[in-house]
Amino acid sequence: MSKMNESILSEQILEDMKENRIDHMKYLDDMEVLDSDVDKQVVEAMNAYDYNQYTAADVRRAIYKENRTPEDFAALLSPAALPLLEEMAQMAQKETRKHFGNSIMMFTPLYIANYCENYCVYCGFNCYNHINRMQLNMEQIAHEMKVIADSGMEDILILTGESRAKSDVKYIGEACKLARKYFRMVGLEIYPVNTNEYRYLHECGADYVTVFQETYDSDKYETLHLMGHKRVWPYRFEAQERALMAGMRGAGFSALLGLSDFRKDALASALHVYYLQRKYPQAELSLSCPRLRPIINNDKINPLDVGEKQLCQVLCAYRIFLPFVGITVSSRESEIFRNGIVKIAATKVSAGVSTGIGDHESKYTGKEEDGEQGDEQFEINDGRSFQKMYEDISEEGLQPVLNDYLYV
Domains and CATH numbers, the chain: 6-401 (3.20.20.70)
Contacts of 261 (CB under 8 A, 6+ apart): 2, 217
Q: State how far the Cα of 304 lies from the Cα of 4, in Å rounded to an integer.
A: 10
Could you report the per-residue pLDDT of 35-93, keeping only the tens digit for each? 999 999 999 999 999 999 999 999 999 999 999 999 999 999 999 999 999 999 999 99
Mean pLDDT on 107-133: 87
Nearby residues of 101 by Cβ (< 8 Å), 6 or more positions away: 399
3-state secondary structure 77-97: CCHHHHHHHHHHHHHHHHHHH
pTM of the model as a whole = 0.92
Largest CA distance in the chain: 61
In degrees to the nearest 10, what's the CA dihedral of 261, 264, 268, 269?
Answer: 50
How high is the pLDDT of residue 85? Answer: 98
Mean pLDDT score of the chain, rounded to an integer? Answer: 91
* Contact present, 379 and 354 (Cβ < 8 Å): no
Measured CA to CA, the distance from residue 389 to residue 405 in angstroms comes to 21
* Per-residue pLDDT reduced to its tens digit, 319-376: 999 999 999 998 888 999 999 999 999 999 999 887 778 767 666 766 665 666 655 5
pLDDT value at residue 295: 64
pLDDT digits (tens, 9 = 90+) for 286-315: 999 888 877 666 667 677 788 999 999 999
Three-state SS at 253: strand
∠289-225-33 over CA atoms, to 5°?
A: 85
Q: What is the pLDDT of residue 372?
A: 67
pLDDT in tens, 210-267: 999 999 999 999 999 999 999 999 999 999 999 999 999 999 999 999 999 999 999 9
Q: What is the mean pLDDT of residues 154-173?
A: 96
Look at residue 125 in the predicted model and tell me its pLDDT: 81
- For 266, phi and psi rounded to 5 degrees? -65, -40
393 by DSSP, 3-state: which?
Answer: helix
